[in-house]
Amino acid sequence: MELDGNNFYGHLSSNWGKFHNLTQLHISKTNISGCIPPELSEAPNLYSIDLSSNHLTGNIPKELRNLTLLSILQISNNHLSGNVPVQIASLYELDTLDLAGNNLSGFITKQLANLPKLWNLNLSHNKFIGNIPVEFGQLKVLRSLDLSGNLLDGTIPPMLTELKYLETLNLAHNSLSGLIPSGFDQMLSLTFVDISYNQLEGPLPNIRAFNNATIEVLRNNKGLCGNVYGLESCPTSRSGSHHHSHHISKVLLIVLPLITVGTVMLALIYYKFSYHLFQTSTTNENQVGGNISVLQDVFTIWNFDGKVVYENIVDATEEFDDKHLIGVGGHGSVYKAKLQTGQVVAVKKLHSVANGGNSNLKSFTNEIQTLTEIRHRNVVKLYGFCSHSQLSFLVYEFIEKGSLEKILIDDEQAIAFDWNKRINVIKDVANALCYMHHDCSLPIVHRDISSKNILLDMECVARVSDFGTAKLLNLNLTNSTSFACTFGYAAPELAYTTRVNEKCDVYSFGVLALEILFGEHPGDVVSLWTIVDAMLLMDKLDQRLPHPLNPIIEELVAIAVIALACLTESPQSRPTMKQVSKDLAGFQGDCNLAVVLHQ
């Protein structure tokens, strides 16, 4: 439910908790007031709440801990008071917590460090006191930390230097003192920092975030020094004049041997480099397997320490050995990798350049461009990427149960995949496509929706994956492409046109929905069915499961009706994914809703 930017007044109703199928509640930038109703926690499928920029008062309800699927909580720029309830730390799916611009007070809740998936933590412009919790160093995947505009004191905890993936850090307008921890020199992912208006002193760390900083993000401290215009240079230790000649002798004794050794090493490097150029000019450049270690410009992984992560992934997969292979797609092979931190990730290595040339590199670029736009609980998260002319791979979150295709093929897993789970997976995919088509800055067409590209986690929450053929749609341009969809899921118009739009995904979704109901692909005759066949299709339900009873059977009929509407031959007659998602979410046991949708 998205009601942002309206001129609403009054209190937030407690009745929102009665909408058990509600997944998003976005009512930001309105004039609503009063407290956040605790009853909101009774909507168990909520994964995103945005109530920012309103006039809400009172405390943050501790009952929100019951929203176990919640991944985004944004309630910034209100008038909330009290502390952050410790119960928030039990929302283990939370990746964004934005409480900025309120009247929250007391010590910062250190238990927030128990949120394993937290990417973005913003507690700025409140009235928090005390020290920065040392426990925040445990937030291993944190990308952004903003504690500015509070009443914090003490020193910057050295434990913060454990945040190896941190990109932005804002500690401005507090009362922090002491030196900046030396471990900051290793925070190579950090690209922006603001420590202005504190009592900090000493040298700046020698990393990009500080080297490229302006005086505005460093001003009004006690005694910072470094190579930034507007700061004093750091003092260097000098010997007295009576030791001057002895000092020069020591320097010469140290430097001359180093120069000699350095000259020899440069000569060796030049020889090795020349020899390598000779080798590569006389051997096949596409033989990547044994030459991974000599590739140049190997890693571009957001702002991480690319070389370290690259080496970890190569080690974890034993140079992409087949024993770590968990899947093969049209554009690449997927490997399971356990990093040194203990985190398990999925690594999609594009097929070698020899097998695809520029088309695979273009596919890789498309996937990066697309995934950096997407942030949704039903879309696989991208952690980083490696881009090279001979070796390219993507690093994703690892989804435990694997693909929907494998689950449906395996009888034991298919039986455990009961009707309620199947209905929820269909809704998950619809929500993901609705987001991609209607909520991104430019609509995104996946173009390859199929059971092999739907992954399920241990709770059977679905994630759409594999954006190797995804296309960003600029609505002002003609959108055409070569055929990309998996056989059996492609919209019929792709047989005679290269024009692509969202309705191609709608068709593929219809095939997928029936496949989930039937337990197998519905076959080539799918286009011959009509809406009136929906009840007859119930005879084709997956026979491995018990025959469903009401109200499940009514919901399955409605899904079949919606799926058949998606399979209409004319693209213009198919519903949008926003209509489909809304209809699936609003279904209350009356299949006439779906019939109205098609009409």
The helix-helix angle for 577-586 and 502-518 (nearest 10°) equals 40
Looking at residue 266, what is its pLDDT? 46
Report how far residue 221's alpha carbon sits from residue 201's, in angstroms, rounded to the nearest whole number.
7
Q: CB–CB of 179/200 below 8 Å?
A: yes
Q: Which strands form 454-456's sheet, in the order they lie side by side?
A: 402-403, 454-456, 462-464
Looking at residue 4, what is its pLDDT? 56
The DSSP secondary structure of 18-49, one letter per residue, reads G-TT--EEE--SS--EEPPPGGGGG-TT--EE
448 is catalytic: yes
pTM score, two decimals? 0.51
If 0-12 CB within 10 Å is exposed, 13-18 middle and 19+ buried, where does residue 509 land? Answer: buried
Residue 450 DSSP SS3 = coil
Residue 83: phi, psi to the nearest 5?
A: -105, 175
C-alpha 326 chain-centroid distance: 21
pLDDT by residue for the chain (599 residues), tens only, comes to 555 555 666 788 787 777 788 888 888 888 788 899 998 888 888 888 898 988 899 999 999 999 989 999 999 999 999 999 999 999 999 999 999 999 999 999 999 999 999 989 999 999 999 999 999 999 988 999 999 999 999 999 999 999 988 989 999 999 999 999 988 988 888 888 999 999 999 999 988 888 888 888 998 898 898 888 778 888 864 333 334 434 433 333 443 444 444 444 544 443 343 333 223 333 333 333 333 333 333 344 443 445 666 778 888 888 888 888 987 766 678 899 888 777 788 888 876 544 444 555 565 566 566 566 677 889 888 777 776 656 778 888 888 888 999 999 999 999 999 999 999 999 999 999 998 888 877 788 888 899 999 999 988 999 998 765 566 555 444 444 444 567 788 888 877 766 778 999 999 999 999 999 999 988 765 655 655 555 667 778 999 999 888 888 889 988 988 998 999 888 888 999 999 998 898 764 444 444 333 33
Q: Which helix (H) or strand (E) holds 445?
A: strand 444-445
Q: Residue count of the chain, please give it.
A: 599
Residue 272 DSSP SS3 = helix
Beta bridge partner(s), residue 58: 80
* Residue ranges of the binding site for ATP: 349
Looking at residue 445, what is its pLDDT? 87
SS3 assignment for 134-155: HHHHHCCCCCEEECCCCEEEEC
Residue 181 DSSP SS3 = coil
Looking at residue 533, what is its pLDDT? 59
Residue 509 DSSP SS3 = helix
Pick from 546, 268, 321: nearest CA to 417: 546
Looking at residue 136, what is its pLDDT? 93
Q: Please, what are the domains in the chain?
A: 9-225 (3.80.10.10), 303-397 (3.30.200.20), 403-586 (1.10.510.10)
Which member of 50, 98, 146, 448 is catalytic? 448
Site of tokens 């696989």: 380
> How many helices (H) and strands (E) would you count in the chain?
12, 27
Residues in CB range of 241: below 8 A, 6 or more apart: none
